[in-house]
Amino acid sequence: MARRPLPRILSSTSVPIARSREIARTAADSATDVLHPLITISRGLRLIAAALRGKWAATPRERRGPALFLVAAVVLVVALIPYGPLLALITVMAAAAWKGRERTPVRTGPDEAETGRLQALYEALVPYFSVAEDPSPLFAHGGEWAKAFSEYEFDDAGRVTRLLIRYPAYFTDGEPEARARIEQLLHTKSGRGREYRFEWDEEGNQLVMRVLDALSTSIAAQRFVAGPGETVLGFTDADAVQRTVPVTEGEDVRDAPPVVWRTGPRSTEPHLLAVGEPGSGTTTLLRSIALQALQHGDVLVVEGSGTGEYACLTGRRGVLAVECGLAGALATLEWAAHETERRLIAANRARQGGHPAPDDIKRPLWILLDRPSVFGHLAAADGRPDPQQLLQTPLRHGRAAGVTVVVAEQFDSLEALTEPVRTHTRARVVLGPCSPTLAEWVLGVPPHTTPTTAVPPGRGYARLGTGPVLRLQVPATPDPYDDATSEQHRQAVLDLLPERDLPVEATPPQQAVPAEG
């Protein structure tokens, strides 16, 4: 005989029970939504009752009788006036609804993870901010970090973004070495990969550490709102300068804080030196300066690397020469020295005769040198003079003659720069990753921020004369003939180039001349 199957036993995972549970859950949620006002009012009445009970318990015994009499009088008056009980009920319900509303809890302090970070920073600073002779040290192992850290802010990841540190008065905050140790420690303990700014208040014995936002790298070359004699080197933090210019960033137009370099007869820093590693953006900076200088002046370009980075300027109106060889560089710089002398003589004669300066010396002349140290090595091997020696006259007298010199060099060739170049280039720019010691050697003072190890091209620092050190991001100004350039940036540079003096068919982009020539 065939065995009959056993009947199925209902289990907790059967479909009807699961469906019943879903229906019950939905009904409970709907009931909660419908009864939500009643729940809110009930919660408010409970809180009001608890507050009244606490108030009654805190009232002294001798005042409870008058308080009861006053409450009874108020109830009697409310009961006798027209619609008094109804208005009283509405008032009580409204107060209960307001008191029982759901409130977002207000965060009043750091959570457990953030407290651990602050305690770790406090313990790390103990060896630097404490001495054995201090009877009541502010920093001590196992001490309270709240006494030393009065203000603090965190980001979404729980890392410190701003911290106000109080330190003892005997700490040697006037010594750069002592301050550098504290800054390096805070940078390491607070998280690498970010740029920090440290502001020391020696009078108040306070140190403020805050994380800086990354500068925008999406600003391309364009016509900046600047007058004659003003050149926008790049853009910096909003609180570092007191001026903004409108810029186009992608499809948006916004105001950005620029680093403006002023040249001309009244400038205190008429010449500029830019230093960086290969690929740091020094050539981009010189190309950006050239596009801005061509609006009101003439440009001479001497390229020592011989890679043809300035081929887009060849034959353009206002570009007097683009030289990549040693012979051409010597001839061009010799002409520039004679032109500077001619302008000085013409200006002196005009002043002595009481006449205005001639028109042929009013147009500014810009001399842009990219890696002149390469020509120095080639000239020494050939027995010729270093082309940098021809820069003495433009550097010494260029401000009065309307001649501006811009030199770009790499870190490993700084020793090859001549003394006049290092002395008269008072405007300095450092691009790319570098140590604080090297940045101080170029800028004269150390930067107030901790640079990161990986930075985009064109990111660095700028210092104009004796001014403060500013963070800098050079606008994207690539070589438009480079295949790796995006179409948007290529078109932005091509739109800024002046017209050619000859037809386009007669002046195709030429290959770079070898540096040995």
pLDDT tens digit sequence for 417-464: 999 999 999 999 999 988 888 899 999 998 888 877 788 999 999 999
Residues 6+ apart with CB under 8 A from 34: none
**Residue with more model confidence, 313 or 360:** 313
**Residue with more model confidence, 90 or 390:** 390
Backbone angles phi, psi at 349, to 5 degrees: -65, -40
Residues 6+ apart with CB under 8 A from 53: none
Per-residue pLDDT band at 70 (split at 50, 70, 90): confident
Q: Is 206 helix (H, G, I), strand (E, B) or coil?
A: strand
Distance of CA 124 to the CA centre of its chain: 28
Residues listed for the chain: 517
Arithmetic mean of pLDDT, 133-154: 90
Pick from 91-105, 152-166, 463-477: least confident? 91-105
Helix (H) or strand (E) holding 179: helix 176-190
What is the radius of gyration, based on Cα positions, of the chain?
Answer: 37
390 closest CA partner among 307, 347, 314, 326: 326
pLDDT tens-digit readout, 182-197: 998 998 888 878 889 9
Q: What pTM did the predictor assign?
A: 0.75
**Residue with more model confidence, 506 or 240:** 240
Q: Specify the DSSP class assigned to residue 84.
A: H
How many other C-beta atoms are found inside a 10 Å radius of the C-beta of residue 365? 22
Q: Looking at the predicted structure, is the pLDDT value of residue 394 above 90?
A: yes
Arithmetic mean of pLDDT, 80-93: 82
Q: Looking at the predicted structure, is the pLDDT value of residue 40 above 90?
A: no
Q: Looking at the predicted structure, is the pLDDT value of residue 513 above 80?
A: no
Per-residue pLDDT band at 265 (split at 50, 70, 90): confident
Q: Is 21 helix (H, G, I), strand (E, B) or coil?
A: helix
**Residue with more model confidence, 357 or 260:** 260
Average pLDDT, the chain: 86
Distance CA 118, CA 402 (A): 56
- For 226-239, letters b (16+ CB in 10 Å) and e give beebbbbbbbbeee
119 within 8 A of 129, measured Cβ to Cβ: no
Distance CA 46, CA 97 (A): 11
Backbone angles phi, psi at 470, to 5 degrees: -115, 140
Q: What's the one-letter identity of residue 25? A: R
Pick from 3-12, 121-130, 207-216, 507-516: least confident? 507-516
Q: Looking at the predicted structure, is the pLDDT value of residue 13 above 70?
A: no
pLDDT at position 504 is: 42
Q: Looking at the predicted structure, is the pLDDT value of residue 514 above 50?
A: no
Q: Where are the alpha helices (DSSP H) in 281-385?
A: 282-293, 326-353, 373-382
306 within 8 A of 513, measured Cβ to Cβ: yes
Q: Looking at the predicted structure, is the pLDDT value of residue 11 above 50?
A: no
How many other C-beta atoms are found inside a 10 Å radius of the C-beta of residue 430? 27
364 closest CA partner among 429, 311, 303, 292: 292
439 within 8 A of 430, measured Cβ to Cβ: yes
313 within 8 A of 497, measured Cβ to Cβ: yes
